[in-house]
Amino acid sequence: MSADPGAARRRDLSLLLAVLLALLGVALTIIYFMALQAGAAPRLADLAYARLPGTGVQNPVTAVLLNYRAYDTLMELAVLLAALLGIWSLGPAAPGFQRSGAVLAGMVSWIVPLLIVTGGYLLWVGGYAPGGAFQAGALLGAAGVIVRLAGDPRAGLPAEAAQRWLLVLGVLVFTLVGLGLMVFGAGFLTYPPKLAKWLILAIEMAATVAIAVALAAAYVGGRPPGPEARPTAADEDAEPQPPASSPRPPVPGR
């Protein structure tokens, strides 16, 4: 054991922390158990289900996200946008990975269209079953991650100017719908029951695109590389430069 008094003190401190946190865990568990024993108090669920027919959707979770608590979801899209602006403000992205070999490229060309179709399905099904903008956006974002891993430095996204528009699309459509409803006499984001379904669908479509682009762009991790960074057909025809560290002979993309 080292004679360093600082290390010993740190060990004592972390032991003390462990004991205190274990006590906290026990206390929380007891409180949780007692709360379960006490039985069901009146909760928002009953109200949420009672008002469901007027919300335009049959899935109660979607109703909570986009009707009852629409402000919450609007602000959440703003948080996502703010996080991405923070990432972009830290500088340009890393150059990305070398072009994938034939096997990975083949898998990507199968799985990315599948993810896009599944994302569209999840977006639509969110009206009456588990699904919705967040799940669809997460799937599409995952498709972007895969494309980036397979060698596209921009994760399959368009150039920076177009990316900016796609990123703000969620907040923009959400706010415009809210303001439009105010103009027509309803409150901000208070949908009339007849139009609710289509307004929610429009918001969800915009939100899906914005979430997907934000997640993929966050994975790229910086201001997007310019158009010259995108591999073109000319690059693929050109003799690929073998990376110094890799013994594997480079394989063209497809």
Partner 1 sequence: MLTAQFLYGGAGLALFVLGLWSFLVHEPLLRKIIALNITGAGVFHVLIAIAYRGDAAPPDPVPHALVLTGIVVAVSATALALMLGARLQDAEDEDRSR
Beta carbon nearer to partner 1, 8 or 79: 79
244, two tokens = 């110094």
Beta carbon nearer to partner 1, 225 or 253: 225
What Cα–Cα distance (Å) separates residue 120 from each residue in 73, 115, 127, 205, 237?
20, 9, 12, 9, 34
Bridge partners of 223?
Answer: 92
Least CB distance to partner 1 at residue 28 (A): 5
Beta carbon nearer to partner 1, 17 or 107: 17
Least CB distance to partner 1 at residue 250 (A): 27
Per-position b or e across 47-85, b if 16+ CB within 10 A of its CB:
ebeeebeebbbebbebbbbbbbebeebbebbeebbeebe
Q: Rule CB under 8 A: which residues touch partner 1?
A: 14, 17-18, 21-22, 24-25, 28-29, 32-33, 36, 40, 43-45, 48-49, 60-61, 63-65, 69, 72-73, 76, 79-80, 83-84, 86-87, 90-91, 132, 134, 138, 211, 214-215, 218-219, 221-222
The total of other beta-carbon atoms located within 10 Å of residue 213's CB is 28
Least CB distance to partner 1 at residue 131 (A): 11
Angle of helix 160-183 relative to helix 193-220, nearest 10 degrees, comes to 160
Beta carbon nearer to partner 1, 64 or 181: 64
Least CB distance to partner 1 at residue 237 (A): 34
